[in-house]
Amino acid sequence: MNDPNATSSAPAPARLAGLDGARCVLGGVLMGLANLVPGISGGTMLLATGIYQLLIDAVADLARLRCRLTTLAVLACVVFPALLTIVLLSGMAGRLVLEYRWIAYSLFIGLTLGGIPVLVRSMARCTAATMFGVLLGLLAMAWLAFGTTTEGVSVGSGGWGMLLVAGGAAGAAMILPGLSGSYVLLVLGQYVVILTTIDEARLAASAGDLEGLSAAGLTILPVAIGVVVGIGLVGTLVRWLLHHLNALTMGLLLGLLVGALLGLWPFREPTPPPVGSVVRGVEVVSVEQAEAIKPKYWPTRAFTPTSSQLAASTGLVLLGALVSGSIGLLGGGRSRGPAAGNP
């Protein structure tokens, strides 16, 4: 059977082979998990399971309205397991970040570090273009971490414009090896908001609460639109870049992955907003108003960790790196990134 990560000018197969189908389902589940956990790249999970080129080609075909059976089969086998994983586990992931931030972020740092060797192994060689791409990626993540938001678990306004931007950025990041979609949501201040809203929608649907489901939909809909647009545009662009500017593109992805560490300092905690502060664009003018604000919208402050927290954090970083690095071995020889070639 041909390697799905290998580029070829031959026509796509008429149907999806059984092993590739199983890899697509596994890749979809891992991609869903990755997009719940800042620091794990959904694209890296696709590389790890050996289906990255299959998905990129499928997205590019769909964007060009080439709806072949193989294209639809690949998308179904990846997208549905990913969505199901996100819906079922979004509440747990949101609560972990909200209530145990230093634990979650320590894991996220380790998971990010563990993904670096996966991406490095996918590079044919290091060139000047590769190093330039790394620099661009680092600068982009530095700007994202320090230049776009004030500190807080969630500082976004929650308006449709911001949610569209967040969804588009997350969708783009979902299929970029090295960049975590949930990390992008985190630094844009929308991570906890979106995950808890997805969980609220799930609970409302289970209880038959149409009003609650409608309210959650006002947040989820613009995010979903942004995700679809981001995946379509960036999937097509990445396919072209990987074939024509491979060294620069892979360097950029590596820079994005390493730069993701800039926004993952773990020792901060959410605090109730004081009277006079501004939350989601609204000034808090009374104690009652402050108490009514949900914890997912609280700002955060830095704290000095104890020696036991530092030791535990170090252990969690090592554990996260081990887990992420081990997942990267799933694809074996097939975990290589797409090589340069004809589109």
Confidence grade of residue 131 (pLDDT, cut at 50, 70, 90): very high
Average pLDDT over residues 153-177: 70
Distance CA 123, CA 142 (A): 23
pLDDT, residue 14, reads: 47
More confident position, 320 or 131:
131
pLDDT in tens, 168-190: 888 887 777 666 777 778 777 77
Looking at per-residue confidence, does 295 or 150 come out higher? Answer: 295
Q: Which of 62-66, 79-83, 335-339 has the lowest mean pLDDT?
A: 335-339
138 contacts: CB under 8 Å, gap ≥ 6: 255, 258, 259
So what's the pLDDT on residue 330? 57
Lowest mean pLDDT among 82-91, 203-212, 280-289: 280-289
Domain boundaries, the chain: 18-266
Asked whether the beta carbons of 75 and 62 are under 8 A apart, the reply is yes
Most confident range (mean pLDDT) of 76-80, 119-123, 200-204, 208-212 is 76-80
What is the chain's mean pLDDT, rounded?
A: 76
Pairwise pLDDT comparison (31 vs 159), residue with the higher score? 31
Tally of CB atoms within 10 A around 325: 18
When mean pLDDT is compared across 168-182, 211-225, 325-339, the lowest value belongs to 325-339
Does residue 70 carry a pLDDT above 70? Answer: yes
* Residue 208: count of CB within 10 angstroms of its CB: 8
Q: What is the mean pLDDT of residues 86-108?
A: 80
**Exposure letters 169-198 (e unless 16+ CB within 10 A, then b):** bbbbbbbbbbbbbbbbbbbbbbbbbbbbbb
CA–CA separation, 231 and 79 (whole Å):
12
What percent of the residues of the chain are helix, what percent strand, and what percent coil, each to the nearest 5?
A: 70, 5, 30
Q: State the average pLDDT over residues 244-267.
A: 81
β-pair partners for 278:
283
